[in-house]
Structure 1
Amino acid sequence: MGRSVHERFYCLAERHIEWADGECQLRSRDVYARESHRGGIAGESNGGTVAAGNSVNYSVTITNTDSAACASTAFSLGTSQPSGWTAAVSPTLVTLTAGQSATVTMSQGPPSSTSTGTYAVAAIASAGTRSGTGNANCSVTAPSPLSVTLAISGSTFSARSTVPITATVLSGNLPTSGATVQFTMTKPNGTKSTYTGTTNANGQVAWNYKFGPKDPSGTYKVTATATRGSQTAQSTAATFVVQ
C-alpha cells in the first residue's frame, strides 16, 4: 500500500502511554504521557508511597494510537529510577495493532538506606527510534519495623527424623524478601547448631534439620535473627521435644 511521507511519519510518531490507577498510587487521576509528532513528551505526575526497603507496583497502560492503515507495532518496555533502586516491568515487550491497548506492571523498590522524600520514576515504551514516557513520583517513607516469627511443623519428633522450621520476616505487615536469617538451635545438652538462609518473595526461609545419631532426646529450643540493611529483628523462642 502506498503512503505519503507524512503518513509514514505518523505511523512512527503518534504513540502514548497512559498510567492507570495502581493499588499503591495516591491520587485518582491517570498519569498520561504522549509523544508528539515532533518527538516531544507531555506528561502529568502521579505517585505511590512505599517504605524504604520495600517495593511498590504501578499499572501501566500502553496504547497504540496509529491510524487504522498502519501495521502492528512492537513496543519494548523499560523503566527509569534513581541509581541503586530495584525495578522491573512485566512483560517487557508488547505488540499492538492500531487502537489496541495493553496493561503491564512496573515495580519500583528503593533500598532500605534510601532517605525519606519524593523521587521521580518512569515507564518507557519504545519502538525503533521513537519512545513515549509515563512519569510518576514515588514517595519514600522511613523503613517499617522488621519482625521475624518462627513456625515448627509439630511439637514432638522421633530420633533420626527431620524437623521443618520456617522463619517469616515482615517489614511492617509486608513480607520481606532478601533478608538474611540465622537460625540457632540449642539442644538439651547445651550444644548448638546454626543455619543461615535468605527469605524468598513470601518473606520466608526454611531449615529442615535432620537429627543425627548423637542428638540427644529432650527439649530443643530454636531462635531466629533476621537482618536486612541496617535493621535487625529477633524472634521469640520456639520449642519442640525429641523422644
Structure 2
Amino acid sequence: MSDPSPAAPAAGRIVLITGGSRGIGLACAERFAAQGDRVAVTYNSSPPPEGFFGVKCNVTSTEEVDAAFTAVEEHFGGSVEVLVSNAGVTKDGLLLRMSEDDFASVLDANLTASYRVAKRAAKGMLKARSGRIILMSSVVGMLGSAGQSNYSASKAGLVGFARSLARELGSRSITVNVVAPGPVETDMTAALTADQLANITAAVPLRRMAQAAEIAGAVAFLSGPDAAYITGAVVPVDGGLGMGH
C-alpha cells in the first residue's frame, strides 16, 4: 500500500512556528530545518538566530497575523504547509487576586491566537488538500494548576478546538493535533533555585524536566509521514506527570 501522505517537495515544506525565536519554538525550528524544511518563525521582541526567516508578529492581532503569513508566502513562494502554534503567555495568580484582564489576555494570547493562525493557515491547506497543524498545549490543561486558572483554561481549550478542526478539515487530508508538554528546561527555569527545581521534578515519574528538543521531537513526528493517520490526538510529553488525564 502506498503512503497516503503527500510527498514533501524537493525544497522542503514551508513551516511556520509562532513564538519560534527561543525555547520550545526555537527547538522546533531547528528540528525542521535539520530535516530540510523551509522554516519561518514569528517573534515579539527577540529575533530568531540566523538561518530562519523571522517575522515580527503579535499573535493577538488579526492584522499582524495576516501580514506575517503574507510575508512568509511571498518569501518562500507558497503557502504554509506545517503550522506550529506555539506562542503563549502566562499571568499567574490566585483567583481572587486575578484581574479580568489577566484572565482574558491569557486566553487571547494562548487560545484565540491559535484560532487566528489556524484559520489563516487553513486557507492554503484547503486549496492544497494537505497540511499539518500542531497546537502547543500543556499538562496543566488537563491536570490543572493552582494559581494558573487562566493558563490552564487556555491550554484545555486548545484540545476542544483542535478536535473540532480535525473533524472539520480531515476530509482534505489536513491533520490537527496537540502536544502537551510538562516541565521543560528553559531560560525561565534556569533561574530557579535547586529547591524549586526539586519541588517541580518530585511530582514527575521520570524525576527530571524535559529538554526543549524532546518536545520538538513529538512535533516533528506529528508533522511527518509516520503520523499521516493521526489527527485529533493529544500527545503528552510530560515525563508521566499527567498520566490518566
Q: Structure 1 length normalisation: TM-score?
A: 0.24
Q: Structure 2 length normalisation: TM-score?
A: 0.24
Structure (1/2) with the larger strand percentage: 1
Task: Return the index of the structure with the highest Cα Rg.
Answer: 1
> Could you say which structure has the greater relative contact order, defined with CA pairs below 8 angstroms and 6 or more residues apart?
2
